[in-house]
Chain A
């Protein structure tokens, strides 16, 4: 177990180092940050001054080391545009993203799990087909298109919901539906396959043989066990939702992290972009690590393989 934990920790650390290096060097490969900061039409002297001011005149390895030192101290740099630390900007936006992700998560769970159970229990029937169609639509119609459609229907035509902004629960409905839409489909598929696996297992067969009513077999014996991978995916999805809602936040003018990233890109504000991307990686690596360790605790087979 100890070896396993250490190895997993090591892998995660390597992932993060490689990721930060990739991001750091890619930015520098595609252009001189100083030139970006000064903007088009900047004089050579200005560029040179900015370069010295931001420490960009040093060699790349040197720059990388100081970049990592700052990261370790929780300093993600200073935004070119806002002249504020990236950490402050991030902290300002994070609650909004958390709200949106939580609502999206709830929606995806409420749609995905019940429908997934239905398809697994009624496999190869009319209901199965219906749910498969829903899952397919979820994976095929992009969330931002669904969002735009909802704006047309509920904001423009019916005038029931505000088209953009944040603040009230009404503002949250459309963005979270648009975000949860895709994830509901993946949740549905996983619930289905996980339920099918469990329903096929020996203990479910035994329970049926004992004469336990089918309803209880499904609710108590099958569903509880099928829930483990589903909830794991939910946890991972939650972290992903915090980070990938870029387009949905843009459409609905939701002031979350995604918008921060997008504005950072539009304004060529690279410390912001870099910070958001690295934090996204950090979150996901951490969640994956936790999931792996948790599974190793639950299932000894993983530890020793």
Chain B
């Protein structure tokens, strides 16, 4: 029986790249992406969106402390989500709070990721005593629950508040530094593992034999190959960072008042918790939960997308 072989066309089609981009966009989970986009938009345009100054008690219609949201008796549409114990507009504070959340989440994750990437690659690529030293340090760091460590560091840094300020609102610089110092361990450990196996690959060996400089090998051949893992880790860290920021601010160790942050709004609301002004607690809490939920869902999607091994987790 004759078998007829048909030629198979494997040449990349011209629309390959756009189709792929379109597919990725179609695959992005819509709801989390929308929430995150909204957060970005709100944070960037906080100045334009907020109806009032978030730090000054408002005057005019709806002025006064503890005005409830507009749908409740005594509410005023001028302050749609009510006012807090100082008579500041809750909506405006939530909008500006988004800015702090975004700043801390992105920078905190990036600083931690940067340190982790650096140390992880160093340990994995060079091995030997550098590896031992870095990994033992990682172990030591991981021996503390991150919240306890964060509280400890934040408390120490509070003495030096504003010294790590740069152009950031008071307290934000400190928090970013704290996150950088705490969350690098998870990156370092995982990335080291990956680099250990990458180091043995033929193309890395070849580059070494060909006499390429170590720094070049690392930048050209190692780092691009661990970026996937890095992104997965980063996306999963974002949620934790946001919650920890809120926790620190709640304890008064994070963003310093009067700068609005969702965590310190919750902290201020706590003083009047028993008096029935529930919106002061519920609204910032919902903001935190929704953003963290979106970040986690997005991170999960990214993980499945980039790392098939972890789909069952």
Contact = CB atoms under 8 A, between A and B. Distances in A.
B1 interface: no
Nearest to A153: B278
Nearest to A137: B293
Interface stretch (A10-18, A71-79, A93-101): A10-18
Contact of A19 (B143, B269, B290): B143
A136 B296 contact: yes
B153 A243 contact: no
A144 B312 contact: no
Contacts of B313: 189, 193
Interface stretch (A22-30, A82-90, A110-118, A219-227): A22-30
A141 B266 CA distance: 13
Given A30-B156, A30-B160, A145-B289, A265 B253 contact: yes
A37 interface: no
A247 B144 contact: no
Q: What is the size category of the interface that chain B forms with chain A?
A: 35 or more
B147 to A, nearest CB: 5
A148 B136 contact: no
A19 B143 CA distance: 8
A277 B273 contact: no
B190 interface: no
Interface in A254-305: 261-262, 265-266, 273, 276-277, 280-281, 284-285, 288
Contacts of A280: 144-145, 148
A44 interface: no
A16 B285 CA distance: 37
Q: Which of B149, B156, B290, B292 has the most CB of A within 10 A?
A: B156
Interface residues of A, number: 53
B136 A18 contact: yes
Contact of B312 (A22, A151, A193): A193
Given A140-B239, A247-B250, A15 B151 contact: no
A249 to B, nearest CB: 11
A228 interface: no
Interface in A124-166: 136-137, 139-142, 144-145, 148-149, 151-152, 155-156, 163
Nearest to B132: A14
B269 to A, nearest CB: 8
B282 A140 contact: no
A30 B148 contact: no
A121 interface: no
Contact of B246 (A142, A192, A266, A284): A142
B147 A30 contact: no
A196 B145 CA distance: 28
Contacts of B250: 144, 247
A284 B144 contact: yes
B140 interface: yes
B38 to A, nearest CB: 16
A26 B266 contact: no
A281 B160 CA distance: 25
B115 interface: no
A107 B281 CA distance: 25
B139 interface: yes
A265 B289 contact: no
B286 to A, nearest CB: 8
Nearest to A190: B313
A9 interface: no
A299 to B, nearest CB: 19
A23 B273 contact: no
A144 B266 contact: yes
Contacts of B252: 266
Nearest to A196: B312
A177 to B, nearest CB: 16
20 contacts: A15-B143, A16-B140, A23-B152, A30-B159, A136-B293, A140-B289, A142-B246, A142-B289, A142-B292, A145-B266, A145-B285, A149-B281, A152-B282, A156-B278, A192-B312, A261-B151, A265-B152, A265-B155, A277-B144, A285-B143
Contacts of A266: 252
A152 B160 contact: no
